[in-house]
Structure 1
Amino acid sequence: MNLFLHFQNLQYLNLSKSGRTVLGAVLEWIRNRELSDVHIAGCNLRGTLTKFTKPDSLTFIDLSDNHFTPGISNFFRKLSSLQNVKISNNQLKFDITKITLPSWLSSLDLHSNLLFGSLSRIMNGQIRLNLKLLNVAGNRITGQLPSSISNLFRLETLKYLQKPDNRHNSYQFRITTEVVMLRPVHQWDNLLGIEQLRHANFRANKFCGEIPQGRPFNVFQAATYAHSLCLCSKPLPPCKRKKLEKKGQHEEGPA
């Protein structure tokens, strides 16, 4: 602890993987400093999320791979300058529709928690103007992908996989989404036109139907859609109905 007293102007701090014994001695010091980047991932921390007494300076925080539990609803309230958040792989359980996020946020990684609710509030708030990465995989979020996702003009990376259904093998996932066999997966149409989207992962879901044929879907690799229920069309094999229609036209010949 005495060592840190000499670093009054410290802005970047990375104590990830240091363990509770080491971190416990300086945690109170961290809370009271005007830090911009804080990394305390994998330190076996428990309880509610750390509260910072001087939050305005914080722009990047990584609290992933700990054991934080509910208490996130007020965590972001005063972190007005926060741009990058990584609180993945914890035990956070809350309704994501009730959380207020900083408007400058560009990266939000909350994967592998116990989140529930809808993503609609994230899509409609001021955050939509800056968000580039959204990772809510491995949670309990339900419902269709909101149509307002098209508001995320700068979105580059989207990960939306759900927790596995324990009654099935590791490739079986459940989401409460209605799709129509061999018709466009209409909830994905909301992503059409988000030209900045470069990375997405729809693997191992129960999606079924024709993949929309427009950017960004037709430029993703086939692995993006692997182990889904019955997706078809580029970059996967053609839909069977299209094959039949094409065959029928060929047999009829030109008029």
Structure 2
Amino acid sequence: MSIKIFLVFLLCCIPSVLSTRDDEITLLKIKKQLGDPYGLRWWVKGFDYCNASANVAPDYSGITCTSTGRVESLILQNLDVTKPFPDGICSLTEMDYLEIYKIPGLYGPIPSCFTKLYNLFRLSVTYTSLSGAVPDFSGRIKPLNLTTINLSRNQLSGTIPPSFGSLPKLNYLDLSLNRLTGTIPPALLSTSTPSLALANNNLTGELPKCYESVNFWVIDVGGNRLSGDASFLFGKQKAAVNIVLANNDFEFDLSNVEFSDNLYGFDLSHNKIYGKIPKSFASAADLWFPNLSFNRLCGELPQGGNMGRFDASVFANNACLCGYPLQPCSNWAPASAPAPVSRPAF
């Protein structure tokens, strides 16, 4: 009986040992694919990559392991390399957290095998020169566990894949500061109070109307070429703490918009927003950082409430706003009519 128990134990342990050894081989492959950078000099054959104290270059990399010795998380940062993305990373099948940060010499596309890392719940690849398309997560055998995707500050191009909507746990998506084009797909995020950042791309069109029913925590689509009505992002019952629509071509009447007490800041500057500033602006209890400058707003500012927090720059460069902290409405006079243009005589 004891021999049988020993054999069962041995059969159970062999796959784990082999898998652990495979992860060491994979890490050395990644190092080679990156050109053996100085920051990974401690990655050598037989190194104890699960031992945090053995990491002699924490400014460049970090590794944690599962209880069975498999790579659970990997951080690569500040490496002096000029290489394409190391697809060896896709062989770390037990990894649930990957962060690649400030490696500007990293170029080429993000390999599609990324979408097969089914244990990954957080993916962050930022401040690189990676280009090509955003990974498409459609057609996978089973749903991914991803809750966070941050691919900001790269050189990714093309359109935003609608397949993000197929990730049932995704509640944070940041694709800002890339070179993305096209329209914003509907249903990118379906969890409660998600955060979406698509700022500083070349996106066009209107916000999907279905976003009216999404209770965003944060949404930032500033610095694109978006248009239409985005007023439905606001509302008395909305959970949003920050809404950024600046530097677009949004055009809607602000007069009947209701600002939530949850709203901490918003930026609607440099658009074509018109109408009056509603009373709910002054009564929004947690509002500290609004920006309504460079629009087409007109009329007297609401008074009382939180208005003492804001200086004139919040309301600057509009059509005809007046009242504290701007000039008194009694001093405001509409611009004189333009002089008639004389027709040349023939």
Give the TM-score of the pair, scaled to structure 2: 0.53
Q: How far apart, in 2, do the equivalents of 1:62 and 1:85 lie?
A: 6
C-alpha contact (below 8 Å) 1:48/1:68 kept by paired residues: yes
Q: Which residue of 2 aligns with 1:182?
A: none
Secondary structure of the equivalent of 1:177? strand
- Among 91, 114, 137, the alignment partner of 1:52 is 114
Residues in 2 aligned to 1:16 and 1:241: alpha-carbon distance in whole angstroms: 48
1:138 has 2:200 as partner: yes
Residues 1:210 and 2:272 aligned together? no
The partner residue of 2:223 within 141, 149, 162 is 162
1:5/1:92 CA distance change after superposition, 3 Å: same
1:189 partner SS:
helix
Query: How well do the aligned residues superpose, as a CA RMSD in angstroms?
Result: 3.5
Unaligned runs of 5+ in 2: 1-27, 29-44, 51-64, 267-280, 308-313, 324-328, 331-346
- Aligned to 1:150, the other structure's residue is in SS state helix
Give the letter for the 2:74 counterpart.
L
**Aligned with residue 229 of structure 1, among 282, 295, 300:** 295
Counterparts of 1:7-156 in structure 2, within 5 Å, are 8-20=69-81, 27-33=86-92, 34-43=94-103, 44-50=105-111, 51-52=113-114, 55-74=117-136, 78=140, 80-96=144-160, 98-101=161-164, 102-123=167-188, 127-130=189-192, 132-153=194-215, 155-156=216-217
AA of the residue aligned to 2:163: T
Deviation of 1:5 after TM superposition, in Å, equals 6.3
Contact in 1 for aligned 2:126/2:152 (Cα 8 Å): yes
The one-letter amino acid of 1:195's match is K
The whole-number CA distance in structure 2 between the counterparts of 1:54 and 1:149 is 29
8 Å CA contact retained: 1:107, 1:131: no
Cα distance change on mapping 1:107 and 1:149 into 2, 3 Å: same
Judge conservation of contact 2:115–2:137 (CA < 8 Å) in 1: no
Q: Residues 241 and 71 (structure 1 numbering): CA distance in 2 closer, same or farther, change over 3 Å?
A: closer
User: Displacement of 1:229 after TM fit?
Assistant: 2.2
SS at match of 2:187: helix
CA contact (8 A) 2:295 2:319 kept: no
Task: Using structure 1 for the length normalisation, give the TM-score.
Answer: 0.70
Structure-2 change in CA distance of 1:194 and 1:64 (3 Å): farther
Structure 1 Cα separation of the partners of residues 77 and 139 of structure 2: 24
SS, match of residue 195 in structure 1: coil
When structure 1 is superposed on structure 2, of 55-64 and 98-107 the one drifting more is 98-107
Q: Which residue of 1 aligns with 2:227?
A: 177
Q: 1:162 to 1:58 in 2, by over 3 A?
A: same
Q: Which stretch of structure 1 is more off in the superposition, 49-58 or 39-48?
A: 49-58
Residue by residue, what CA displacement relative to the aligned partner does 1:111-133 show, whole Å, maximum 9, x if unpaired? Answer: 0111122224235xxx3234621
Alpha-carbon displacement from aligned partner over 1:62-88 (angstroms, at most 9, x marks no partner): 111111111324357647111101101
| C-alpha distance 187-203 of structure 1, shift in aligned 2 (>3 A) | closer
Match in the other structure for 2:5:
none
Cα deviation digits, residues 152-175 of structure 1 (max 9, x gap): 23x211111115xxxxxxxxxxx3
Q: Is the 8 A contact 1:202 1:224 kept in 2?
A: no
8 Å contact 2:297–2:320 — kept in the other structure? no
1:94 to partner: Cα distance: 1.4
State the 1:17 CA deviation: 1.8
Gaps of 5+ in 1: 164-174, 179-185, 248-255
**Whole-angstrom distance in 1 between the partners of 2:100 and 2:194:** 23
Larger-Rg structure? 2
Identity of aligned residues (%): 17
Measured in 1, the distance between the counterparts of 2:179 and 2:319 equals 36
- Distance, in Å, in 2 between the alignment partners of 1:203 and 1:213 is 18
Which residue of the partner structure matches residue 241 of structure 2?
198
Count of residue pairs the alignment pairs up:
220
1:76 to 1:162, Cα distance in 2 relative to 1, 3 A: farther
Cα distance, 1:214 vs structure 2? 3.3
Which structure exhibits the higher relative contact order, with contacts defined as CA atoms closer than 8 Å and separated by 6 or more residues?
Answer: 1
